[in-house]
Amino acid sequence: MLSVSSRDFLKLPIKEFIIPSEKVAHVQLGNNTEHALLVLTKTGYSSIPVLDMRYRMHGMISVQQITDEILGLDRIEYERLDSIKVDEVMTRDFVKINERDTFQRALDLLINHPYVCVVGDEDTFLGIMTRRVVMKQLKKQLYLSLD
Ligand code: 2BA
């Protein structure tokens, strides 16, 4: 049974748990997939957001999507990377969340997604909410409830 404080906790706005945009690795629309693969490999993340020059959110791109795109019959065709744009490969079907949304909404979404993008007006990218952050907060809350 949830304690009252846990119920209140679930209703908290996500604002204070967001990883802010300036700390999130991203690529831009129009970048080629060679650049995207470089950013993904250097940062170690498997998927990152795709933004435009005005920092609006357009999609997400992953290592898996890129390698899938250049998979030939019996080899990976790396030489094609510079001619394929991020826009051609990224997924536009992504989950977004508002900074006024509750922790509970983020928790529900993060069951099926490793991270969700937080957007403001006109899809302006504000940052991400990740499973790791949610797990850390849940752990804190659980330990508090045991005291
Ligand atoms: P993944 O890249 O698949 O990473 C899965 C988990 O592995 C991460 O979970 C984190 O715990 C760890 N991890 C991976 N690369 C890391 C790194 N360079 N530094 C520290 N830890 C790393 P979460 O932290 O919950 O992140 C979930 C997903 O959110 C990541 O999935 C990634 O797609 C995205 N992400 C997280 N932080 C990001 C950032 N600063 N920039 C861009 N994307 C980020």
Say which CATH class 8-146 falls into: alpha beta
High-pLDDT (> 90) share of the chain, %: 89
Res. 54: pLDDT tops 70? yes
Domain ranges of the chain: 8-146
Q: How would you write 67-123 as a 3-class SS string?
A: HHHCECCCCECHHHHHHCEHHHHCECCCCEEECCCEHHHHHHHHCCCCEEEEECHHH
* Buried b or exposed e, range 117-127, using 16+ CB within 10 angstroms: bbbeeebebbb
- pLDDT tens digits, one per residue of 94-124: 999 999 999 999 999 999 999 999 999 999 9
Pairing of strands 96-98, 47-51: unpaired
* CA-46 nearest atom, ligand 1: 2
Separation of CA 73 and ligand 1 centre (Å): 31
Res. 2: pLDDT tops 60? no
- DSSP state at residue 55: -
Q: Which amino acid is at 113?
A: H
- Alpha carbon distance 50, 41 (integer Å): 16
- DSSP state at residue 18: P
Q: Which of 21, 24, 40, 45 to mutate to test the pocket of ligand 1 (most atoms within 8 A of CB)?
A: 45
Confidence grade of residue 9 (pLDDT, cut at 50, 70, 90) = confident
Q: Which of 28, 118, 130, 134 to mutate to test the pocket of ligand 1 (most atoms within 8 A of CB)?
A: 130
